[in-house]
Amino acid sequence: MRCMALAAFAALSIASYALAHPMAPASLRVDLEDARSGTAEFRVPSGAALEVRLPPGCAPEGPRDVDPAGALLRMRFSCERSFYEGPLVVTGLEEEDRVLVFVEREDGSVFRAVLDEENARVHLEEPKGAGAVALDYLLLGIEHLVTGWDHVLFVIGLAFLVGGTKALVFAVTAFTFGHSLTLAALALGLATVPEAPVEIGIALTLVYLAVELVAKERKARSTRSSVAMAFTFGLLHGLGFAGALAETGLPRTHLLLALLTFNVGIEVGQLGVLAVLGVLAWATSKIEPLARVLRAAVPYVVGALGAYAVVERVAGVL
């Protein structure tokens, strides 16, 4: 009798726990082949009375694939007019219901949203044209360079290491060529590299650069060796740029344009860093004691931050 009571209590506890926690969210995935056709997959938790309504003018095409429990619906659809002209709606949503919406447009760009009782519809925008794509990825490249402190530090350290306008032009060109190669290779799916080792390697380039900056005080580097180093490390930094680009993705219809303008954006950001550095160098050159302090401090700042990043990134994978 006591065992039965305990069993009943356990069953009631489980039931009350289940009632207190909402069901897993439903999901709706739409893959558009063009503005007037595509496929849809709608997953619904058991017991939820949810239905998806395609935009006006769009209707299922051919038989719909429904599992016996009614929890999964797959269908092809076609539209009399553009899919983007009307809202995508989910009906039957109650207070705790959520629907995760994932739409891949015909150009490869992705739209994500979460629908609930108060926001049960979503209106998609058409894919952007070539000009808008170019501007978006140009700005994305600039943003990634100037907000990536490790890349900025490397450019600054490289400028201090090579010295002289001609040598700096050669070194920066080599760095650009190196990161352009690996960025393109990964972005186009020609190779894959795990992110963690890349980030650790980028941090190590800062440590190496700091050591070279200190050694420079005793022995000057040749332009050729500086160019070779910049190209080699550019290959590594390009892998990091590719990781950032992968988070956004590339549109299928303007893939090469997006890749090119993202790379150009990185170069614009890089030149911006060098321009600011040049202005600061000119300003501090008027005060020689300050200029000496800054030149002496750069290797240690670059090295300390690089070493910290190495430790932090290694710890992150242990």
pLDDT of residue 275: 93
pLDDT of residue 2: 41
Beta strands in the chain (DSSP E): 26-34, 37-43, 51-53, 58-66, 72-79, 88-91, 99-104, 110-115, 121-122
Q: Is 246 helix (H, G, I), strand (E, B) or coil?
A: helix
Q: Please state, in angstroms and rounded to a whole number, the distance separating the CA atoms of residues 240 and 175.
A: 13
Per-residue pLDDT of the chain (318 residues; tens, 9 = 90+): 444 333 333 333 333 333 333 456 889 999 999 989 999 999 888 777 888 899 999 999 887 777 766 578 889 999 999 999 889 999 988 888 899 999 988 877 788 889 998 989 988 887 778 888 899 999 999 999 999 999 999 999 999 888 788 888 999 999 999 999 999 999 888 988 999 999 999 999 999 999 998 887 666 677 788 899 999 999 999 999 998 888 877 887 788 999 999 999 999 999 999 999 989 888 888 888 888 888 889 999 999 999 999 999 999 888
Residue 137 and residue 118 share a domain: no
Looking at 105, 122, 139, which one is the last position of a domain? Answer: 122
Residue 112 and residue 245 share a domain: no
Q: Please state, in angstroms and rounded to a whole number, the distance separating the CA atoms of residues 175 and 159.
A: 12
Residue 267 and residue 181 share a domain: yes
b vs e for 259-286, b when ≥16 Cβ sit within 10 Å of the residue's Cβ? bbbbbebbbbbbeebbeeeeeeeeebee
Q: What is the CATH number of the domain that holds 50?
A: 2.60.40
Residue 254 and residue 161 share a domain: yes
pLDDT of residue 77: 93
Total domains present in the chain: 2
What is the value of pTM for the model shown? 0.68
pLDDT of residue 13: 37
The answer to whether residue 11 is domain-embedded is no
Q: Please state, in angstroms and rounded to a whole number, the distance separating the CA atoms of residues 27 and 98.
A: 8
Specify burial of residue 195 (Cβ count, 10 A radius: 0-12, 13-18, 19+): middle
pLDDT of residue 259: 92
Residue 261 and residue 170 share a domain: yes
Q: Which residues contact 38 (CB under 8 A, 6 or more apart)?
A: 30, 31, 32, 76, 77, 83
Q: Which residues contact 160 (CB under 8 A, 6 or more apart)?
A: 213, 295, 298, 299
Residue 199 and residue 275 share a domain: yes
Q: Where are the alpha helices (DSSP H) in 112-194?
A: 130-147, 149-162, 165-187
Residue 298 and residue 225 share a domain: yes
Residue 279 and residue 144 share a domain: yes
Residue 292 and residue 154 share a domain: yes
The answer to whether residue 207 is domain-embedded is yes
Both tokens assigned to 191:
């190779």
The answer to whether residue 1 is domain-embedded is no
C-beta of residue 100 within 8 angstroms of C-beta of residue 28? yes
Domain of 168 in residue numbering reads as 130-317
